[in-house]
A and B are shown apart, each in its own frame.
Chain A
Amino acid sequence: MKKILLIGNPNVGKSAIFSRLTGLHVIAANYPGTTVEYSRGYLRYLGEKKEVIDVPGTYSFKPTSKAEKVATEMIGQSAADQDIIFVNVIDATNLERNLNLTLQLIKKKIPLILALNFWDETRHVGVLIDIEKLESMLGVPVVATSAISGEGINQLVARLEEARYSPFDFEDSERWMQIGNLLAATQKLTHRHHSFFERIEDISIHPLAGIPLAIIVMLFSFSLIRFIGETLISYVFEPLFEMAWAPLVEYLSINLGREGLIHHLLIGTLIDGHFDFVESLGLLTTGLYVPIGMVLPYIVSFYFVLGFLEDSGYLPRLGILVDNLMHKLGVHGLAIIPMLLGVGCNVPGAMATRMLETRREKFIAATLMAIAVPCMAQTAMIFGLVGAYGVRALAAVFGTLFIVWVILGLFLNKIVKGESPEIFIEIPPYRIPYGKALLKKLWMRIRWFLKEAIPYVLLGVLIVNVMYSLGVIEFIADLSKPLITDLMGLPDQSVAAMIIGFLRKDVAVGMLVPLQLTMKQMVIASVILTMYFPCIATFSVLIKELALVDMIKATLIMLVSTLLTGSLLNVLL
């Protein structure tokens, strides 16, 4: 045995088991299709390092989405290798459907071991499974696990070596009959009462009650994000910067003589004789304050709330409720998940479009997200800076983006060729999010943000300084004057923000501050910065996901819709 592959239906907890086995953390959530790309890690096993691979979930070996295709290909390649064992992760509360994949795996003649996950839940839902009987009937080891609490993981590891070919023989056409026999012999269902969750279930997908509930959930989530973000800024991050960091920077500034090249790079331009955390554009001022002081608090609050929504199982239900509306935009309801992930960061949002089936849907979803969904880094800056102009300014920015999202979707639905299939998904059960898992996931995302954002922010700040001193910005500003100034009514200097927006949208929004924009200009500039182009990180993911031709099309759509929206706003506002 040199390699271990975790396979199973979507949303059975493979990623949670992967995290337990390897100590590496991968994002897990309560909806089918969270894992769209395989992850690799290592397990210490009898003093040796064994590779463990978390394969995206699949219902069968006839893939219907990119994520399932990844899974089918991985399993196909590995089946020939004698040294690979397969851990088939099963949702024990849903044995019948899960065994369907197990029997297909058995047909592939591969060394198998079964992990009956969510074991702790079987008691609550009234399912009794005779594990020993199942083990003897299938002829492969069967272990009960609860990946979230860690129960059964040691036993799973201890029995890995026992993985073997199943002697279970059957005609493939009789698969469901065999499953029926297995169930009859090993599973007992006991009567249970209508649980609290089933009641919410009834409401949340009820055609009339579901929509008000969805609106309440969304409004509550966004208020909570805003509240936690604001609180963190006012009581933690701002005091930290003002009281601890500012004196140090001031001290350094004085010692550098308040001028010179190094002062300019580290501290930046002084405004009325003092440095300013947003406007100075120095590495130690703006370079740290924007990502940590302004954006990080919102990253924390957004991912805290998102994690809760993800793990509860509500998101697919939201997808069902909005399915109708989303079809008008050319995608089905589940596309709401990449959009919501995009509100955090467009990069995972773009990756998540893999859960959609066709090229057309992926194209529409990715283009809509890249154009009209600002990431949380940018949103945090807009909250902080545009918010200073009042709630009306904020409403104008997000209202415009929403209208663009809808109109562009209607338009793409008309012109993009191909097919958008109907929704056809499994609805996961509601689960109470597990605190520790939530915090781990949050920490992972924060770490990812810090690692991805800070270097780019610093680079962006550095580039602005270099470009200003070389006169490059003046030059481009002159060139783009007809578009930026004449059409959209923005000062030509705002082109500097557009250039930096390729790197980081948060820094770009910050660069608007010294321009002393009117409310109207600030609204237009914020909308334009969201729409005109995705940041470089998103762009590179999109090229990979959409392929070059589609990406060029998407880029053209971005430029045209930016110009249209910018000039329209200039006329209308």
Chain B
Amino acid sequence: MNEVNLIAIKPGQEVIVMQLGGGNQFLEKAESLGLRTGVRIKKLSSQVMRGPVTIQIGSTKLALGYGMAKKILVCRVDE
């Protein structure tokens, strides 16, 4: 299984979060929003010019900065 970051995958793709990187504050907020390792997420879109990435976890939708998304390693779900 190849791990890639959240930037590298296409919108519409569903992936499993393998690893989250970033500062403590980010990690804590991510955890409380349900973004944690092992969950299945769907990438919704990413804005041009290193803009925010939007994802969906269950029925929660989140937007996060490019730098944050880059530090999230995910693994593609086999169809």
Contacts and interface: CB of A to CB of B under 8 A. Distances in A.
A324 B50 contact: yes
Contacts of A423: 52, 63-65
A321 interface: yes
Interface string A489-525: 0000000000000000000000000000000000000
Interface residues of A, number: 35
Contacts of A210: 47
Given A64-B25, A207-B46, A207-B47, A426 B61 contact: yes
Nearest to A97: B34
A100 B31 CA distance: 9
Contacts of B34: 96-97, 100
- Which of B26, B32, B68 lies at the interface centre, i.e. has the most chain A CB atoms within 10 A of its CB? B32
A194 interface: no
B44 A424 contact: no
A423 B46 CA distance: 13
Nearest to B59: A94
B1 interface: no
Contacts of A427: 54, 61-63
A125 B61 CA distance: 14
Contacts of B67: 422
B36 A60 contact: no
Interface string B38-79: 000000111111111010011111111111100000000000
Contacts of A176: 36
A96 B40 CA distance: 13
A385 B31 CA distance: 53
Nearest to B34: A97
A424 B29 contact: yes
A333 interface: yes
Contacts of A316: 63
- Give the size range of B's interface with the partner: 20 to 34
B28 A205 contact: no
A3 B20 CA distance: 40
Interface in A317-334: 319-321, 323-324, 332-333
A332 B31 CA distance: 21
B8 interface: no
A380 B34 CA distance: 45
A100 B29 CA distance: 12
A208 B61 CA distance: 20
A333 B64 CA distance: 11
B59 A59 contact: no
B27 to A, nearest CB: 10
A321 B48 CA distance: 9
A206 interface: yes
B51 A323 contact: yes
B59 A125 contact: yes
A323 B50 CA distance: 10
Interface of B: 25-26, 28-34, 36, 44-52, 54, 57-68
| A-B pairs with lowest CB-CB distance, top 4 | A422-B65, A60-B32, A59-B32, A427-B61
Interface of A: 59-60, 62, 64, 93-94, 96-97, 100-101, 125, 127, 176, 202, 205-208, 210, 316, 319-321, 323-324, 332-333, 421-427, 429
